[in-house]
Amino acid sequence: MQASKDTSQVITVSVPLNSTIVGGLVTRRELRIPSDLIFADFYSRMCAQMDLNPDGASIGYKFHTDRMKDAPRQLSNESEYQAMMQEMVRRVLAARSRNPVLSLYNLVRLDLMVWGVAQFLWLFCTASCDSYPSVQAEAGW
């Protein structure tokens, strides 16, 4: 009788920090996680690391061999998660010297957050523009 192999591998994940802060310096932290985590556990852990609310979060990923200009792949359900983990396990097993890294991304667009702040300032200035001429001048209104 042959003993069953443990197919779980340790995956290196690069997680962005400060990705929800407009104008903030985004840094990265590398975490090592087992490949046999279930999707819900992985998603909640990564959202906690990225300081995101899991209910409104939108996470994407890239492999270490993807180009910078390539858009991140969406990670939103169990099947996408399983495909991502299978590919990472394949890459870990095939690696000779360089450890493969999975990079996560916050897909909520920061430019939309900035647009929301600009809209707020515009509404604020139109409501009381005589009281705050410096804000109106900085915004270009």
54-76 pLDDT, tens digit per residue, is 888 899 999 989 998 888 999 99
Question: Do the domain assignments include residue 63?
Answer: yes
Question: Within this chain, do residues 89 and 139 fall inside the same structural domain, yes or no?
Answer: no
pLDDT value, residue 123: 62
| Residue span of the structural domain in which 29 resides | 10-108
Question: Do the domain assignments include residue 5?
Answer: no
Question: Within this chain, do residues 83 and 120 fall inside the same structural domain, yes or no?
Answer: no
Lowest-confidence pick of 7-11, 28-32, 77-81: 7-11
For residue 92, give the nearest of 14, 9, 36, 29 by alpha carbon: 9
Residue 38, token pair as written in the block: 């279930």
Mean pLDDT of all residues in the chain?
Answer: 80
Place 40 in a pLDDT band, splitting at 50, 70 and 90.
very high
Separation between Cα atoms, residue 98 and residue 109, nearest integer Å: 31
Question: Do the domain assignments include residue 3?
Answer: no
Question: Do the domain assignments include residue 119?
Answer: yes
Mean pLDDT over residues 17-44, rounded?
A: 88
pLDDT value, residue 111: 52
Question: Within this chain, do residues 25 and 93 fall inside the same structural domain, yes or no?
Answer: yes
Question: Within this chain, do residues 63 and 87 fall inside the same structural domain, yes or no?
Answer: yes
Cα distances from 20 to residues 25, 70, 72, in angstroms, run 10, 21, 17
Question: Within this chain, do residues 39 and 95 fall inside the same structural domain, yes or no?
Answer: yes
Q: What percent of the chain has pLDDT over 90?
A: 46
Residue 28, token pair as written in the block: 């990265």
Question: Within this chain, do residues 69 and 124 fall inside the same structural domain, yes or no?
Answer: no
Mean pLDDT over residues 10-31, rounded?
A: 86
Question: Within this chain, do residues 89 and 115 fall inside the same structural domain, yes or no?
Answer: no
Choose between 124 and 19: higher pLDDT: 19
Question: Within this chain, do residues 59 and 69 fall inside the same structural domain, yes or no?
Answer: yes
Question: Within this chain, do residues 20 and 57 fall inside the same structural domain, yes or no?
Answer: yes
Q: Measured between alpha carbons, how far apart are the two ends of the chain, in Å?
A: 79
pLDDT value, residue 19: 77
